[in-house]
Every structure is written in structure tokens, then in C-alpha cells.
Amino acid sequence: MVYLTRRAEFSASHLYHNPAFSAEENRRVFGKCNNPNGHGHNYTLEVTVKGEVDSRSGFVVDLKQLKEVMQREVLDAMDHRFLNKEVPEFFTRIPTTENLAIVIWERLVPKLNHARLHRVRVYETPDLFADFYGEI
Amino acid sequence: MKAHLTRRYRFSASHRLHNEAMSLDENRLTYGKCNNPHGHGHNYFLEVTVSGPVEEATGMVCNLADLDGFMCREVVERYDLGNLNAAEEFKLNIPTTENLCIAIYETVSRGFDKVHLEKVRIEETLMNSFEYAGPSGLHR
């Protein structure tokens, strides 16, 4: 088994707000991230796929195809967007780093023809990242 | 849905690797430059990985403000700009980065009960890093 990781970057804004919480509870739980005008990050995404090396091509996966899927499913949908308002999954889910990793996993899995997804890692800043391995 | 969250902290500290039970020669042979009697220091990078279900109401594995508060109070402030050999936990243990990993893992697993601790990783320099995930080892 060989693991292959492709990196991409996107910039987006978001805010953390749960409409089921009171204004005071939102401020207490989410702190500055609850600012109603939102704020932004330069995100780094790492997608790791796994598989056996194909004896003819020497590839685990066609990197060009992986790159295109990441571009279409993630970057085109999220880069330079306000996540809460423009990415449908975040109309109802809070766009935390954890949920970004989960949503990106859910977007990629049905589109990857041959590659098996191993891990989605999302860096919100160089000092904070979330990993999702598809665990329920 | 279970996710892993990793937070990175930094602190600078000095230490000396020296075992009283060894002869001077054996200390020099074992620890090399790290046995310099005057000590030396590093800028450490510390990564703490926690895991658990993502809570629907908050979208979080654990509230980062709680983790940061604990880590700054109990770990970063304890070691930053200090001498590791002077800390209670290194009176008997040599302050190698291996032992520092174990000490920080135990501090977090004993004192922070809001989430499951997955592992502690420390970069002593850009060239050396160490990980400790408890007695059962790394899961990922």
C-alpha cells in the first residue's frame, strides 16, 4: 500500500453561529469567531489517497485526475467564497475546520474513480488543522 | 463523525542531558554536546492531537479556547523560557525530548478531560521530532 498526498490552497471567509443558541451563548461558545461580519483564512488542504502501485503506469492514482476533482469539488466551490452563504453544506452545519474536513471528504469520495481516500487534512492556520479519515 | 484536531504551540527552554549514575566519560560518550555542563537550549514546537465526535451544535471536537487555556497554563507557561532540568518531573528523568513528550502527554491526559488525547508530538529542531501516544502506541 502506498499513500499519496496532494496539497491545495484556498482562501475563504466564515463565521461560527448556531441559530439555536442565544446571542450571549453564541458569543460565549464561539468567541471572536462569532463576529457577524465574518472573517477569513488562507486554508491549506491535503488530500491523501492510498492504493497499490499499478505495474504498468507506476501510479497509485492519476494525479491529474485527482487534481481536477479537487479543483472542481473544493476550490471552485470554496475559494474566495463566504462559506456560510455560498457552500450549501454550511447553510446548516457550522463551518469549523473539523466540518470542512468532513464536507471535503464527502464531496471527494463519490468523484474519485480508482483512488481510495485515506485522509483529508485541512489547515486553518499553520498552527491548527483537522484530520478526517471517514470514521463515523 | 469522528475527527482529529491538532493544535501547535511553541516554547523555548534550556536543558542538559546528564545521568548522575554514569561516569563523566560515559555521560560525554552517551550525550555528546548535550552533556555540556552549562546546558543549551531549543525552540520547541509542540503538537497536541485530540479526537472525538464532532458535536452537531458547535461543529467542534473540543472548544479550542478550552484547549489553548489549558495548554498555555499547564505546559507552555511551565516550560517557556525556563530550564527543563529544574522542573520536578526531570529531577529523576533526563529531559530528553522523548521524556518531555511523555511528561506533556501525562499532564494533558491527567488534567484535560474534555476530549480524548490522541498524541503529543514535539519538534526539538527542524531535523528531530518525537511522538508519544500512550502505552498502546500510534493509531494513525
The reply to whether residue B61 touches residue A98, judged by beta carbons under 8 angstroms, is yes
Per-residue pLDDT of chain B (140 residues; tens, 9 = 90+): 999 999 999 999 999 999 999 999 999 999 999 999 999 999 999 999 999 999 999 999 999 999 999 999 999 999 999 999 999 999 999 999 999 999 999 999 999 999 999 999 999 999 999 999 999 999 87
pLDDT in tens, A92-130: 999 999 999 999 999 999 999 778 999 999 999 999 999
Q: What does the buried/exposed string (b/e) look like for A18-52 if buried means 16 or more CB atoms within 10 Å of the residue's CB?
A: beebeeeebeebbeebbeeebeebebbbbbbbebe
**B positions 32-61 inside 8 Å of A (CB):** 54, 57-61
Does B137 map to a domain?
Answer: no
All residues of chain B having their beta carbon less than 8 Å from the beta carbon of residue A136 are: 1-2
Binary contact (A131, B4; C-beta < 8 A): yes
CA distance A104 to B110: 34
Tell whether B33 is covered by a domain.
yes
Range of the domain at B104: 2-132
Smallest Cα distance from B121 to chain A, Å: 13
Active-site residues of A, by number, are 33, 80, 124
* ipTM of predicted complex: 0.91
Structural domain including A90 reads: 2-132
How many domains would you assign to chain A? Answer: 1
Q: Please indicate, yes or no, if residue B109 is contained in any of the structural domains.
A: yes
Helix (H, G, I), strand (E, B) or coil at A24: helix
Tell me how crowded residue B127 is: count the other CB atoms within 10 A of its CB: 6
Q: Which residues of chain A have a CB within 8 Å of the CB of B115?
A: none
B61 contacts in chain A (CB < 8 Å): 98, 130
Q: What's the pLDDT at B131?
A: 97
CATH of the domain at A43: 3.30.479.10
Size of interface A-B (CB pairs under 8 A): 63
Task: Give the pLDDT of residue A135.
Answer: 96
Which tens digits make up the pLDDT trace of B88-109?
A: 999 999 999 999 999 999 999 9
Instruction: Evaluate whether residue B138 is within a structural domain.
Output: no
Contact B84, B13 (CB under 8 A): yes
The whole-model pTM stands at 0.94
Contact A127/B7, CB-based, under 8 Å?
yes
Choose from B56, B116, B119, B121 for mutation: most chain A CBs within 10 A.
B56
Taking an 8 Å cut-off on Cβ atoms, the answer to whether A94 and B59 are in contact is yes
What is the count of structural domains for chain B? Answer: 1
Chain A contact for B3 (CB, 8 A cutoff): yes
CATH number of the domain encompassing residue B80: 3.30.479.10
Instruction: Report the alpha-carbon distance of residue A117 to residue A115 in Å, rounded.
Output: 6
Residue B115 falls within a domain, yes or no? yes
